[in-house]
């Protein structure tokens, strides 16, 4: 499977819509796109995960890396549209306690 990454930018906020699977094969492509956006000062990234049907630990690692990069640059990341399965993954790992997660999809792409 593959991952589709749609990115739109408006006023230092990136709206990202992901569709497909995030795993060891697709994570490098996702990481490259997100880290490029996360480089700026005060950047906000809103990621719509409603189209993601599978994610493994490699995908979690991408989000942790982007989260750290954004925090270092006074930025913010919000994950939206998370399925129950993905929400459970973030809950189990404790990431739901530190990341801004909303099950509803918000504006954007």
Quickly list DSSP for 5-68. Answer: EEEEEETTEEEEEEEEEESTTTHHHHHHHHHHHHTSTT-EEEEEEEEEEEE-HHHHHHHHHHHH
> Residue 108 domain-assigned?
no
Quick one: average pLDDT of 29-58?
Answer: 95
Domain CATH number, residue 52: 3.30.750.24
List pLDDT tens digits, range 75-94.
Answer: 999 999 999 999 999 999 99
Quick one: average pLDDT of 2-25?
Answer: 95
Q: 35: closest CA among 3, 4, 75, 1?
A: 75
> Residue 57 domain-assigned?
yes
State residue 36's pLDDT score: 93
Q: What is the pTM of this model?
A: 0.90
> Residue 85 domain-assigned?
yes
Of all residues in the chain, the percent with pLDDT exceeding 70 is 93
> Residue 109 domain-assigned?
no
pLDDT-based confidence at residue 105 (cuts at 50, 70, 90): low
In whole angstroms, how large is the CA radius of gyration of the chain?
Answer: 12
Quick one: average pLDDT of 30-53?
Answer: 95
Compute how many other C-beta atoms are within 10 angstroms of the C-beta atom of residue 36.
11
Query: Domain limits at 64?
Result: 3-102
State residue 5's pLDDT score: 96
> Residue 74 domain-assigned?
yes
Q: How many domains does the chain have?
A: 1
> Residue 107 domain-assigned?
no
Distance, CA of 47 to CA of 76 (rounded, Å): 11
């Amino acid at each position: 499977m593959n991952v589709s990454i749609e990115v739109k930018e408006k006023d230092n906020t990136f709206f990202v819509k992901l569709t497909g699977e995030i795993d060891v094969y697709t994570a490098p492509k996702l990481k490259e796109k997100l880290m490029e956006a996360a480089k700026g000062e005060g950047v906000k990234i809103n990621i719509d995960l409603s189209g993601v049907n599978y994610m493994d630990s490699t995908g979690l690692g991408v989000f942790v890396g982007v989260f750290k990069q954004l925090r270092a640059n006074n930025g913010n990341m919000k994950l939206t549209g998370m399925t129950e399965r993905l929400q459970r993954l973030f809950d189990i790992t404790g990431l739901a306690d530190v990341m801004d997660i909303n099950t509803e999809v918000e504006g954007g792409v």
